[in-house]
Amino acid sequence: MSALYQLRHYTVYRYGEPVEAAQNQLRMHLRELPGQRCMLRAVHILPRPSWTRLQTDYFGNRVLAMQLGTPHRVSKIFVKHRVRVQTRPLRAPQATPSWETVLGLLNAAAHAQDPQLAMLRLPSRLAPCAPALADFARPHFAPGRPVLEAGIALMQAIHRDFAFNPKATSIATPVLEVLRTRAGVCQDFAHLMVAALRSLGLAARYVSGYLETLPPPGQPKLVGADASHAWVSLWCGPEAGWQDLDPTNALRPQGQHLVTAWGRDYDDVIPLNGVLAGGAGETRMQVRVDLRRVEAATGPGEPPAAAPGQASP
């Protein structure tokens, strides 16, 4: 089964004083992945950049480097995608190796020499390793338990025991503080889970993207709809590979999560960062995200169904 989505992401910055020039990196391009194929990708930037260069970073994320050389007090970025997403089959948790086996593989020379796997086991600024984090994860990692089953149990515990509260944290709130207060947002829960997994010696990566929700009648809407979202990937061995886990919603991404970027933590996937000359005073940012299906889910070989009011492509 597949579905076609339209994603629109608007960002507006308003500066207290004029910005004379800016050099930025934009990480808002969706990745090309098995089961995720971009049919259209467009970026509109005002003021018009002096130059742009599309490249990839260490993790394979698409990065648009650019320079704004025109003085301005307002900058606008509009990113649009049309992307086809295939429903991904879910690996049976019991069919994955024990977590100790995976840990042994990670410690073995063949995988220890994989630079990305090695990096994604190490502490990072926003996902540190600590005894308290290992203690938090350990009850779910009983001896001999399949690694994906244990990861799902940890995901469910975070969803069950932590409150989603946008006012409880900020971008600077440490993971250990989130562990203490038991509250936060999707970014906090992803950092917490990544840090807990790495504290056990496992490899985990922070994933950013978007989440579409279509709740059944009478059911609550999943947290993260129509906004940027964050979740986790756990390495489950050479056969199972990376398995996605969403602790904010206690579900395994299968077709509603659109992937933008991944890395060690949020620092590696910041949507827009860079340096400014000028721009003193208060800076205000507005973000609006619109994610919707423009074509109903179809099976292989079936003609696409048009959304109401639209013609089939």
- What's the whole-number mean pLDDT along residues 106-117? 86
Supply the DSSP string of the chain, one letter for each residue. Answer: -EEEEEEEEEEEEEEEEEEEEEEEEE--SPPPBTTEEEEEEEEEEESPPSEEEEEE-TTS-EEEEEEE-S-EEEEEEEEEEEEEEEPPPPPPGGGSPBHHHHHHHHHSHHHHT-HHHHHTTS--SSS---HHHHHHHGGG--TT-BHHHHHHHHHHHHHHHSEE-TTS--TT--HHHHHHHTEE-HHHHHHHHHHHHHHTT--EEEEEEEE---PPTTSPPPTTBTSEEEEEEEE--TTT-EEEEBTTTTB--SSSEEEEEEESSGGGS-SEEEEEEE--S-EEEEEEEEEEEEEEEE-TTPPPEEPTT----
CATH fold of 93-253 reads: C8orf32 fold (3.10.620)
Q: Which amino acid is at 82?
A: R
**Lowest mean pLDDT, pick from 7-11, 126-130, 197-201, 306-310:** 306-310
Smallest Cα–Cα separation from 141: which of 238, 207, 239, 236?
236
Q: Is the pLDDT of residue 219 over 90?
A: no
Domain boundaries, the chain: 2-86+270-300, 93-253
Q: How many angstroms separate the CA atoms of 29 and 31, rounded?
A: 6
pLDDT at 313: 22
pLDDT at 181: 97
What are the C-alpha distances in Å from 205 to residues 27, 178, 238, 245?
A: 17, 18, 16, 10
Whether the upstream peptide bond of residue 89 has omega within 30° of 0, thus cis, is: no
Q: Are 265 and 171 in contact (CB under 8 A)?
A: no
- What's the whole-number mean pLDDT along residues 128-135? 98
**Lowest mean pLDDT, pick from 187-191, 219-223, 228-232:** 219-223
pLDDT band at 239 (very low <50, low <70, confident <90, very high): very high
Question: What is the pTM for the complete model shown?
Answer: 0.90
What are the C-alpha distances in Å from 283 to residues 18, 48, 166, 167, 274?
A: 11, 20, 20, 20, 14
Q: What is the pLDDT of residues 251-264, one digit of tens each?
A: 999 988 999 999 99
Q: How many angstroms separate the CA atoms of 284 and 14, rounded?
A: 5
Q: How many angstroms separate the CA atoms of 217 and 205, rounded?
A: 34
CATH fold of 2-86+270-300 reads: Immunoglobulin-like (2.60.40)
Q: What is the pLDDT of residues 84-101, one digit of tens each?
A: 999 989 999 999 999 999
Q: How far is CA 101 from its chain centroid?
A: 27
